[in-house]
Amino acid sequence: MTTLVPSADLPATAAPGSSGRLRRWLGLASLATLVVGGLHVVAAYQQVEHGELAVSFFLLAAAAQVGGGLVLGVHAVTGVRPGSRLVLAGLVATVGMIGLFIVAHGTGTLLDYVGQQPGTGGHTSSHTGPFAAGIATRNDTLATVPVRPDLLGMATVAAELAGVVGLTALLPRTWRGRALNGMLALCGIAWVLWFTGVLA
């Protein structure tokens, strides 16, 4: 007599595919994080003339991102899922860097923390020159004059967005929904700030 085995009792066959998807998401997150770290090294070089604080910030960010990218790369090679808290920390840090980029280019909030060189970048002596990374500048009336992001800044944000996609996919399913809701809320706040003129 032939015995039928219920399909629920059969060994799972989706494991290889699941492992492949995990490696791909890990690879994306690792590559994006390493690229961002490298771009921040370039940004640090551009900030040399603007003081040690800006250079130190970019170098510390680059070191953390390169280290995180290498850790994710090891997990991509071994196929082992990293800890959820580690992934969440990387996601929060990456979203924070994007937010900092938006604030730096949309407001003059960071002007007091980074040195500026007067009369540079084609401006007159009554204006302060723009930062190498494109952060907002001020004119002689102390009004904020936002500067368009340069190619380096846009490439960095693009790589960070790719990292956000990869890191979000690596979160547990229950955490993933909450993370997406949080990022949508931040986007909504950014839109309100733009609409009200806080972000230029």
Q: Is 5 part of any domain?
A: no
Predicted local confidence at residue 150, as pLDDT = 79
- Residue 7 has a pLDDT of 42
Predicted confidence (pLDDT) at residue 76 exceeds the cutoff of 90: yes
Q: What is the mean pLDDT of residues 26-51?
A: 92
Percent of the chain with pLDDT over 70: 70
pLDDT of residue 37: 96
Structural domain count, the chain: 1
Higher confidence at residue 17 or residue 12? 17
Please give the backbone phi and psi of residue 163, each rounded to the nearest 5 degrees, phi first.
-65, -40
14 belongs to a structural domain? no
CA 195, chain centre distance (Å): 23
Residue 147 has what pLDDT?
Answer: 56
Residue 187 one-letter amino acid: C
Q: Is the residue at 17 inside a domain?
A: no
The stretch 38-66 carries a mean pLDDT of: 90
Give per-residue burial for 102-119: e unless 16+ CB within 10 Å, then b: bbbbbbbebbeebebeee
Rounded distance between C-alpha atoms, residue 200 and residue 191, angstroms: 11
**Contact assessment for residue 107 and residue 199, using Cβ atoms and an 8 Å cutoff:** yes
Give the predicted TM-score (pTM) of the model: 0.71
CB-based burial label for 195 (10 Å; 0-12, 13-18, 19+): exposed
Question: Does 167 reside within a domain?
Answer: yes
Q: Which domain holds residue 152?
A: 22-195
Among 87-96, 111-120, 189-198, the minimum mean pLDDT is found in 111-120
Determine the average pLDDT of the residues in 72-99: 94
- For residue 3, being part of any structural domain is answered with no
Query: pLDDT, tens digit, for every residue of 155-184?
Result: 999 999 999 999 999 999 989 889 999 999
Question: Looking at residue 138, what is its pLDDT?
Answer: 43
What pLDDT is attached to residue 42? 94
Query: Would you say residue 50 lies in a domain?
Result: yes
| Three-class HEC string of the chain | CCCCCCHHHCCCCCHHHHHHHHHHHHHHHHHHHHHHHHHHHHHHHHCHHHCHHHHHHHHHHHHHHHHHHHHHHHHHHHCCCCCHHHHHHHHHHHHHHHHHHHHHHHCCHHHHHCCCCECCCCCCCCCECCCCCCCCEECCCCCEECCCCCHHHHHHHHHHHHHHHHHHHHCCHHHHHHHHHHHHHHHHHHHHHHHCCCCC
- 139 in a domain, yes or no? yes
Mean pLDDT, rounded, of the chain? 77
Q: Is 116 inside any structural domain? A: yes
pLDDT tens digits for range 98-149? 998 888 877 756 655 554 444 444 333 333 334 344 444 444 444 545 556 6
What pLDDT does 109 receive? 60
